[in-house]
Amino acid sequence: MFPAPHDLSCPAASPGSPVQVEVIEVGTMDADWKFVQNDGKEGPVAMTMRVGVIHHPGGTILVDAAQGQATRDGKWPGFPVSAKSQHIPEGSALHERNLNVQKVLLTHGHYDHIGGLMDLPGVEVWLTPNEWIYLHSGALGAGPVLRADLKWKPVLPNGQVLDRPATDVMGDGTVWLLSTPGHTPGSASVLVRAADGPWLFVGDTAWVDSHLLDTQRPWLVSALFDSNHKQYIESLEWARSLKAACPNLRVVTGHDPTPFVPPAN
């Protein structure tokens, strides 16, 4: 049972914003619908590894890093995940796209969101303090990523946005890292006030778009992958409320198999 819907006001349009956003698909992961959503659907599905690209005058910021060269080479991630079920086409990895990345905002530290960091030496990685602790306490596959040449930056909230503790990433109110825990202890979402409207990246609080409507992860899958069920349900309901109430808000889920299509303004 979901808690009562949140009373949230929608993020305002910001037509003068200097920020542009795009969603890119770095690759796919083999899965079966029966492990993705609890509506009886079955059959193979290629889950995307999505990355948000925020073009800000202060530099290019990514939301998550998907996987990269080590996965393509079959070297990472190891057991119990198989690199063979992860597919990254030539030219599709982050380091092959001339993005000139300044920083990466992590929605969370699962392997399929952090592997590509190993291809971005020297980059700043922003995350919540609880996710920083989680990465150092047994997050799957995190070891090689933590040993890579990266500038880790756990950040405390310095504001409240959409009813959530939030960090103003660029200091101008255009990009916010919001605390939405539950999938992992320090899971975050990213709100961007872009020229074409507001965007919300919810990471794996919702794997697929149907999780924002009427399905959820099957209970056993949720028990395996979500660190705190109560917090996860609260964060999912928050995302659902925004999706339902704000037709101009571009809500980007973690792995929907279809390319992201922004709603018309």
Residues near Zn ion (CB under 5 A) are 110, 204
By C-alpha distance, which of 140, 4, 110, 2 is closest to 47? 110
> Residue 72 or residue 110: which is nearer to Zn ion going by CB?
110
Torsions phi, psi of 145, nearest 5? -70, -40
CB of 65 to Zn ion, least distance (A): 13
CB of 108 to Zn ion, least distance (A): 6
Token code pair at residue 79? 């057991």
Which is it for strands 197-201 and 188-194: parallel, antiparallel or unpaired? antiparallel
CB of 222 to Zn ion, least distance (A): 11
Q: How far apart are CA 188 and CA 128, in angstroms?
A: 7
CB of 27 to Zn ion, least distance (A): 15
> Residue 29 or residue 246: which is nearer to Zn ion going by CB?
29
Q: How far apart are CA 217 and CA 127, in angstroms?
A: 24
> Residue 56 or residue 255: which is nearer to Zn ion going by CB?
255
> Residue 110 or residue 240: which is nearer to Zn ion going by CB?
110
CB of 110 to Zn ion, least distance (A): 3
Burial of 165 (0-12, 13-18, 19+ CB in 10 A): middle
Torsions phi, psi of 125, nearest 5? -120, 110
Q: For 73-110, b where at least 16 C-beta lie within 10 A, e where not — what string?
A: eeebbeeebebeebbbeeebbbeeeebebebbbbbbbb
> Residue 36 or residue 246: which is nearer to Zn ion going by CB?
36
Q: C-alpha 74: how far from its chain's center?
A: 23
CB of 183 to Zn ion, least distance (A): 6
> Residue 25 or residue 204: which is nearer to Zn ion going by CB?
204
